[in-house]
């Protein structure tokens, strides 16, 4: 990949994260998340290998499904409350759907089905980028919504993530899969 293309992808990745973290409107947050997704896909498929192409396809399909859930939950919230702001109290179904979508974006168990395979199919620098920088924007949204999410669902998601990640990572010998389950 040329240095110009790589710098454009990295700058759009950082711009998408900044847009998501600084937005108080659901559409801008969604736009930043999608900007991140579209910047990472060429980085995953950069080594022209069938495994990298498969990983990029799995990543795109999962992130597109999570983005559709975010749009649907924010539309449901705007329909019931008349507000598109993130900090406005949401309805229970919209909050639960948003929690599931953000868990899919983060790769938290039990919505982690895509994460180990995508990390295994990508290069190590891309896997490190997806495991660190790519998590900042969904985590910021999760923290902004923390008071409006059901606490039992958050607690259950945290326990399941630690339990499933610990059990699944025990028998792994590949570094990227261990990193995915940790």
Residue 137 CA to residue 53 CA, distance in Å, equals 24
Q: How confident is the model at residue 174 (pLDDT cuts 50, 70, 90)?
A: confident
- Closest by alpha carbon to 160, among 123, 110, 125, 122? 110
Q: Coil, strand, or helix at residue 66?
A: helix
Can you give the residue range of the structural domain that contains 42?
3-181
How far is residue 64 from each of residues 1, 31, 54, 86, 170, measured CA to CA in Å? 25, 12, 15, 20, 30
pLDDT at 93 over 80: yes
**Number of structural domains in the chain:** 1
Q: What is the pLDDT of residues 6-45, one digit of tens each?
A: 999 999 999 999 999 999 889 999 999 999 999 999 999 9
Average pLDDT over residues 81-86: 84
Q: How confident is the model at residue 87 (pLDDT cuts 50, 70, 90)?
A: confident
């Amino acid at each position: 990949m040329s240095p110009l293309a790589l710098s454009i992808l990295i700058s759009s990745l950082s711009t998408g994260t900044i847009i998501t973290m600084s937005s108080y409107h659901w559409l801008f947050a969604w736009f930043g998340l999608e900007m991140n997704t579209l910047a990472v896909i060429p980085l995953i498929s950069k080594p022209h290998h069938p495994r990298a192409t498969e990983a990029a396809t799995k990543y795109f399909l999962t992130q597109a499904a999570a983005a559709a859930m975010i749009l649907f939950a924010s539309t449901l919230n705007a329909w019931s409350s008349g507000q598109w702001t993130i900090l406005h109290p949401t309805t229970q179904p919209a909050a639960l759907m948003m929690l599931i979508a953000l868990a899919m974006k983060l790769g938290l168990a039990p919505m982690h089905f895509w994460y180990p395979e995508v990390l295994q199919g990508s290069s190590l620098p891309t896997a490190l980028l997806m495991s660190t920088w790519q998590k900042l924007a969904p985590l910021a949204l999760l923290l902004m919504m923390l008071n409006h999410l059901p606490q039992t669902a958050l607690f259950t998601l945290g326990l399941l993530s630690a339990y499933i990640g610990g059990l699944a990572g025990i028998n792994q010998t590949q570094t990227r899969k261990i990193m995915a389950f940790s």
